[in-house]
Amino acid sequence: MSNLTYTAIFYLFAAITVFSAVYVVFSRRVIYSAFALLFTFFGVAALYVFLSADFIAVTQVVVYVGGILVLLLFGVMFTHSIMTTDLKSDVLHIIPGTLLLLAMIGTMLYTFYTTHGWMPSTTMLQGSVVERIGFETMSRFVLPFEMSSILLLAALIGAAFLARFDKPGNNE
């Protein structure tokens, strides 16, 4: 493939990501925002692939699309069927949002025009990125890895304890 083809595909995924993110923000229906978020997450994963960060792209799809977005969709759908309330967001802060957008665009343009000599590295990593991450995790970073797993286990046990229906002292 030519360089022009890669550039066109990059801009296609960037446009999908940006337009779906804008739809997430400005949609008045929560379920439509959640489905637009799906396209945003896939677009971000595609941009990670263009950055040669395959592991992060797969992690993006597995964690965000496979976990968080599915949980969000189930929560919205089940809550909507139980409660007969209208799930529309009527609050739009157009003026602060526009000012924030202009500030972000100005910051990005400033960064783009002041970093003249930046180019991606031409050195290639030896072996698989996933293999290198696994080696580093299980050798140099084994203690922080295990500490984070213990912390997540404690959070899971605490969430299960708080979510129990038959809590101590609940005589209903």
Q: Which tens digit of pLDDT belongs to each residue from 93-142? A: 788 888 988 999 999 888 888 876 666 556 666 667 778 888 888 888 88
Range of the domain at 157: 126-164
For residue 80, give the CATH number of its domain: 1.20.120.1200
Instruction: Specify the pLDDT at position 123.
Output: 62
| Residue 54 forms part of a structural domain | yes
What whole-number percentage of the chain has pLDDT above 70?
80
Instruction: Specify the pLDDT at position 142.
Output: 86
55-59 contacts, C-beta under 8 A, 24 or more apart? 55/129, 55/130, 55/133
Please indicate, yes or no, whether residues 77 and 133 belong to a single structural domain of this protein: no
Q: Is 36 a residue whose pLDDT tops 60?
A: yes
Instruction: Specify the pLDDT at position 23.
Output: 92
pTM of the complete model:
0.59
Please indicate, yes or no, whether residues 81 and 8 belong to a single structural domain of this protein: yes
Please indicate, yes or no, whether residues 2 and 83 belong to a single structural domain of this protein: yes
